[in-house]
Amino acid sequence: MKIAFLDFEFGQIYGSYRRDFLVTQAGVLLYDTDNDIFKIAEMILKPDSELVMRASNGGKLKEWVINYHTKKSFPYDKKFKRIKNDSKKLRQEWVIFLLAFTFTNNLKLKLSTIKKVVY
């Protein structure tokens, strides 16, 4: 039997009305119980959109904005609001991109084998 564990990371679209999110990373851990083997795969996605990043350091929340595609970042402004239709258009374009990317790659993930981890 094979068991799959999926993990998705999301980024909030900067200034979105509904706190809309885009997928920025997808990972899978596949466990083959018959052969006791783990396989993992990861896909990093770089949307051409500004996303809010958050990190907590010593109980203090730090927020900034980054565009992974252009590699530009700038300070977060909580008063900034994006036009509602703009966020919807971004979400729709990203879904189309993800579908095209998946079919272009023939629905295959490059899995690397990991030897059994012993504790």
User: pLDDT tens, 75-84?
Assistant: 999 899 887 7
Residue burial 55-89, b: 16+ Cβ < 10 Å; e: rest: eeeeeeeeeebbbbeeeeeeebeeeeebeeeebee
Domain that holds residue 19: 2-114
Does residue 67 lie within any of the structural domains? yes
- Predicted confidence at residue 100, as pLDDT, reads 66
- Predicted confidence at residue 110, as pLDDT, reads 52
User: pLDDT tens, 57-77?
Assistant: 888 999 999 998 899 999 999
More confident: 101 or 52: 52
Does residue 119 lie within any of the structural domains? no
Per the structure, the count of domains in the chain is 1
Does residue 85 lie within any of the structural domains? yes
Does residue 54 lie within any of the structural domains? yes
